[in-house]
Amino acid sequence: MEGTLLGFLQTARRAGIRISAAESLDAFRAVETIGLTDRAALKDVLGLVVAKSREEKELFSECFELYFTRARLGDAQPGDMQREALQRVQADGDAADDATMGNTGAGGTALARMLRENDRAGLALALEAAGRRTGATGIRFRVQANMFVQQIMQDMGLAALTREIERLREQGDDAAADELERARDRLRAEVREFVERFLALSAPAENIWRDDNLKTVPLWRLERHDVERMRVSVRALAKKLATRYGRDRRHRRHGHLDVRRTLRRNTGYDGVPFTTAWKKRKLEKPRVMVLCDVSGSVAPVAQFLLLFVHSLADALSDVRSFAFSSHLIDIGDVLEREPVEIAIAEIVKQIGFRSSDYGRSLADFAGGFMDHVDRRTSVIIMGDARSNYSDPRTDIMKALFERAKLVIWLNPESRPSWGTGDSEMWRYLPYCDVARECSNVRDLERAMHELLTRGS
């Protein structure tokens, strides 16, 4: 039992469920209490001890089904016979080794016999043992599947089996040979299924690995099927940041003793200060204005910036979003109507694919919205600052910089290429509190962190 349970815990860990040593011990204690007779009860109990969130419960359920379906094959026979079968298999493994070394065993191999007699339990055990010996149970990637299938077949005595089939053919017993060949193919299919099952078990772990990698992939190079995953990941990040800063805001209680309020509060105790009152510094939620360049090269990154900012709604007050290429428009209502990904497509259709003009866009902003910028407002500008040699209107940037609390410029291009060609980045730079490269989700996360710490 211990082996089975340990094996299961390992499998579950590989599938992405976090199980600490203490929880493993709990699992053992729990199983001792409940016994192993009832499969449903076992599942309930392990689920309670091992899986600690809704997602983990789902993973757990999958793992449990996969793992214990496999184990059940062996339960078809009572214990003694099982052991016997196992010995037979091991002996067979040795025999297979002998056979490969040249000692041709007489009377056919045990594998052939099991196939011929359709000894399900024996085969299952042999498969199990071979899987463990070859390390196939630890499979992680799909490309390994074929290799493991082949290795397991070899380990179970494929060579000896093939020789036996040849021998039968030489003896002219074609019918028997055909039958054995068919059985061999069936076995191969079963082995493949076995390997696939373990592959399925490790798939979530692969996803975690991929998610980590995705964070550093430039956003415009994301493949379509990764975009959705990235969105989920961005929302999760935003939620985490939002809770964290929400808490900071509530808990920032540094300050000095408020003598006046303390005395007043304690007049009832004859002025003895039983309760104290403190001067509190109030932290405000940052007000944010986002200006996004939606010309071809920047749009993919802008999409994630907008997604991030809007997912942060809990930690921010009053987010206003603008998009620009040749001119600037307010996109607040589009974003309210549609989810970000659809809204962006709509906006790009409306004003994208034109040569960007930063001067004009800034002038548009100054004309309509500069009044809304106050000393509580943080302005985030996302763009490559490539303005096609038009007037950059740095005077507006300067005015913006002076009015706003914080100006963050996020540039998807790498720093060395700033200012090259038609890029006006160096001319805008003096009017930014923060200017950063921002090409992947990790950069975005850092920028948001900056916004939340310095903007409040």
User: Is position 250 an interface residue for another protein (rule: CB under 8 A)?
Assistant: yes
Q: How far is the CB of 43 from another protein (least distance, A)?
A: 9
Choose between 27 and 382: whose C-beta lies nearer to another protein.
Answer: 27
User: Is position 29 an interface residue for another protein (rule: CB under 8 A)?
Assistant: yes
CA angle 6, 9, 5 (to 5 degrees): 40
User: Is position 449 an interface residue for another protein (rule: CB under 8 A)?
Assistant: no
Residue 246 CB partners (closer than 8 Å, separation 6+): 314, 315
Choose between 20 and 453: whose C-beta lies nearer to another protein.
Answer: 20
Number of residues that bind another protein (CB under 8 A): 34
CB atoms under 10 Å from CB of 220, counted, come to 15
The residue range among 27-35, 70-78, 135-143, 437-445 that interacts with another protein, by the rule CB under 8 A, is 27-35
Identified binder of another protein from the candidate list 1, 6, 32, 207, rule CB under 8 A: 32
Q: How far is the CB of 154 from another protein (least distance, A)?
A: 38
d(CA 373, CA 289): 8
Beta strands 377-382; 287-293: pairing state: parallel
d(CA 153, CA 70): 18
Identified binder of another protein from the candidate list 146, 216, 243, 453, rule CB under 8 A: 243
Looking at the DSSP assignment, which residues form a beta bridge with residue 292? 323, 382
User: Is position 40 an interface residue for another protein (rule: CB under 8 A)?
Assistant: yes
User: Is position 225 an interface residue for another protein (rule: CB under 8 A)?
Assistant: no
Residue 188 CB partners (closer than 8 Å, separation 6+): 149, 153
Choose between 46 and 329: whose C-beta lies nearer to another protein.
Answer: 46
CB 299 within 8 A of CB 331: no
d(CA 337, CA 446): 28
User: Is position 208 an interface residue for another protein (rule: CB under 8 A)?
Assistant: no
User: Is position 278 an interface residue for another protein (rule: CB under 8 A)?
Assistant: no
φ and ψ at residue 47, rounded to 5 degrees: -60, -40
User: Is position 37 an interface residue for another protein (rule: CB under 8 A)?
Assistant: yes
Beta strands 317-324; 328-330: pairing state: antiparallel
User: Is position 57 an interface residue for another protein (rule: CB under 8 A)?
Assistant: yes
The residue range among 18-26, 129-137, 153-161, 324-332 that interacts with another protein, by the rule CB under 8 A, is 18-26
The residue range among 41-49, 155-163, 208-216, 348-356 that interacts with another protein, by the rule CB under 8 A, is 41-49
How would you label 232-257 residue by residue, b for 16+ Cβ within 10 Å and e otherwise? ebbbebbeebbeebeeeeeeeeeeee
Identified binder of another protein from the candidate list 12, 51, 219, 366, rule CB under 8 A: 51
User: Is position 135 an interface residue for another protein (rule: CB under 8 A)?
Assistant: no
3-state secondary structure of 119: coil
Interface residues toward another protein, by CB under 8 A: 18, 20-23, 25-26, 28-30, 32-35, 37-38, 40-41, 44-45, 47-49, 51-54, 57, 243, 247, 250-251, 269, 274
